[in-house]
Amino acid sequence: MNMRIEADSIGTLAVPTEAYYGVQSSRAKENFSITGTKLHPELISNLARIKKAAAVVNAQSGNLTVGKKDAIVQACDEIVAGHFHEAFIVDAIQGGAGTSANMNANEVIANRAIEILGGRKGDYRIVHPNDDVNLCQSTNDVFPTAGKMTVLQLLPELVAELEKLERALADKAEEFAGVIKMGRTQMQDAVPTTLGRTFQAYQSFVKRDIRHLMSAAEEMKSINLGGTAIGNAINATPEYLENITAFVSEEVGIEFMQAEDLFDATQNVDGFVRVSAAIKTAAVNLSKMSNDLRLLSSGPRAGIGEINLPAKQNGSSIMPGKVNPVIPEVVSQVAFRLIGNDLTITMAAESGQLELNAFEPIIFHSLFESIDCLAHSVATLTLNCIQGIQANEMACYKQVEESAGIATALCPTIGYQKASAIAKESLKTGKTVRELVLEKGLLSIEETDSILDLKRMAGIPAESSLLAGKAV
């Protein structure tokens, strides 16, 4: 392999002649062989978008020649289009507060611009990674801005999938509105409800999670571009400081605002913590629902068995006919991962010192993974589970009718003590509450039918249930 020699402040290093990356990217690759995962593709594209906007602003202010600007812009456009991503060789988790990622972008863009201008890669007299591509910038304002841009570009897919899930749950809430079932608290029989209300509650938390995510996303629109190293705009021209945010907004198609306090925006990353918290909250809610779905579908003969989940694959290599709730299982596993990512992000944000947080690489790696994984898990939950759930209405009804929990409805009429005695005897003898009330002559048939009307207890009109014609 032919090599070229490049130099930095550490010394010289051989780099493959045809490589678009340079010496600093090569050192980072050697230093940070951590995950084997490269930078997120959207983060790479957003680094290029920032470099493009910077080149345009710097050319307009006379600090970059038109020829260099045009070459840099073309190189950035190519990267945004998906080219040269293989030249971004640094690990997603890296020391240096993102300097390696920023320099990887600077070197790739510089070498591609050199090539466009007819030069040979590595001849930085033509276009220099630091002096030209990184002009008026610092890793400390470029990298967090690219991270915020990436979050804003990834979140819409997650929100869209949550909206699909919300609609699917609304459909199930309507479909199951007349299905009487036993409500349970602490895994024990409580009072009657409907399967529709169960799914309506799931729908409500999804709507709430969407609001939380959209609210948290607004904090990503405040960026510190122009603040350079610590927020004091050292080495940034007044023209650059004044115009860069508008040019980035135009390039990305999102209206950003320059942070009111560039020092604060450079050293504090609490906005990412808030986004992660909203994602974690959604994951926790979805996992709780997944727990419910597994319980409600358990059996199918020897469990609760109130619903049937779609059969997606064989559940055992040894037990014939066994089908497992694999979709809720994978959603919970994603939630476990995201809870861990949220803790990582929290600790990384807390561990920043003085004028800069050095741990943005792990924040971004964790946050981007959380957004992508949750979006994918919600998509499979909606398509492969929620939409195909069926109610076992007869089983639900039977469990309510035979439950001692309906004795609660007797309290206002016969008192708590007698109702409690009825419930205990029902559990002991297997007789229904209805049978015992009539057997003991505590109420007339008409009174018993009225008080223990399961549809009334569940708060649904009689005609809503398929069992409406069944005498209770």
464 a catalytic residue:
no
Burial class (CB in 10 A: 0-12, 13-18, 19+), 11: exposed
Please report, for the chain, how many H helices and E strands are present, in that order: 17, 8
CB atoms within 10 A of CB 416: 12
Q: Are 449 and 413 in contact, with CB atoms under 8 Å apart?
A: no
CB-count exposure of residue 460 (10 Å: 0-12, 13-18, 19+): buried
Give the position of tokens 């007698």: 418
Contact 71, 17 (CB under 8 A): no
Do residues 332 and 247 lie in contact, with contact meaning Cβ atoms separated by under 8 Å? no
Q: Count Cα atoms within 13 angstroms, Cβ side, for 262.
A: 20
* Ramachandran region, residue 74 (left: φ > 0; alpha: ψ -120 to 50; beta: rest): alpha
H-type alpha helices, 385-467: 393-401, 411-414, 416-429, 433-439, 445-451, 454-458
Q: Which residues contact 60 (CB under 8 A, 6 or more apart)?
A: 239, 243
CB 194 within 8 A of CB 460: yes
Start-to-end Cα distance in the chain: 85
In angstroms, the CA 421 to CA 382 distance is 44
Task: Choose the catalytic residue: 215, 316, 444, 450.
Answer: 316
Give the CA angle between residues 222, 225, 227 to the nearest 5°. Answer: 110
One-letter amino acid identity for 175? E
Can you say how many angstroms the Cα of residue 458 is from the centroid of all Cα atoms in its chain? 35
Peptide bond into 300 cis (omega under 30): yes
Residue pair 349/272 in contact by the 8 Å Cβ criterion: yes
**Cα gap 472→458, rounded to integer Å:** 13
E strand map for 36-158 = none
Distance CA(341)–CA(403), nearest Å, equals 42
Catalytic positions, written as ranges? 316
